């Protein structure tokens, strides 16, 4: 397996900063030669994942985002510190359905007072 180029970004866990992560996701997907539709799907998926997590974030905390680029794939992990009682939306929720329809794969977890969502976007075969 080829090694991945990794980009790490940390922004305040506030909706005002989601544009930074959407723009980064789009730029990295463009670097992998994703189509315009694939780039837009990834931007929306990153936005949905971050919006879910911001609701769970400890006030005043940061949202971390890890992008790993490998060949025709972009893996994204977003995470926030949270309280011990935090729970992600159900996988049957509209928000989760949107996210999973836009990403090639997605998963979420809450453990050790940290909520995270990972997703993978793959470039379509040319």
Which CATH architecture fits 5-122? Answer: 2-Layer Sandwich (3.30)
Percent share of the chain, pLDDT over 70 = 98
Give the per-residue pLDDT at 3: 73
Measured CA to CA, the distance from residue 45 to residue 107 in angstroms comes to 12
pLDDT higher than threshold 80 for residue 105? yes
With cut-offs at 50, 70 and 90, classify the pLDDT of residue 126: low
Measured CA to CA, the distance from residue 9 to residue 20 in angstroms comes to 9
Alpha-carbon distances, residue 19 vs 44, 46, 76 (angstroms):
11, 10, 15
pLDDT higher than threshold 80 for residue 57? yes
Average pLDDT over residues 13-36: 95
The encoded tokens of residue 46 equal 């990153």
The encoded tokens of residue 102 equal 């836009």
6's CB contacts (< 8 A; 6+ apart) are 66, 67, 68, 69
pLDDT higher than threshold 60 for residue 50? yes
How does DSSP classify residue 124?
P
Alpha-carbon distances, residue 54 vs 28, 29, 62, 86, 122 (angstroms):
23, 23, 9, 11, 25
Give the per-residue pLDDT at 36: 95
């Amino acid at each position: 397996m080829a090694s991945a180029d990794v980009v790490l970004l940390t922004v305040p866990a506030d909706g005002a900063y989601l544009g930074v992560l959407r723009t980064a996701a789009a730029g990295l997907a463009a670097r992998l030669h994703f189509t315009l539709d694939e780039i837009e799907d990834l931007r929306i998926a990153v936005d949905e994942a971050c919006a879910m997590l911001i609701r769970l974030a400890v006030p005043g905390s940061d949202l971390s985002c890890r992008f790993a680029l490998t060949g025709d794939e972009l893996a994204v992990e977003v995470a926030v510190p949270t309280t011990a009682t935090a729970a992600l939306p159900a996988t049957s929720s509209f928000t989760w359905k949107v996210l999973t329809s836009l990403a090639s794969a997605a998963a979420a977890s809450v453990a050790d007072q940290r909520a995270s969502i990972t997703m993978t976007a793959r470039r379509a075969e040319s």
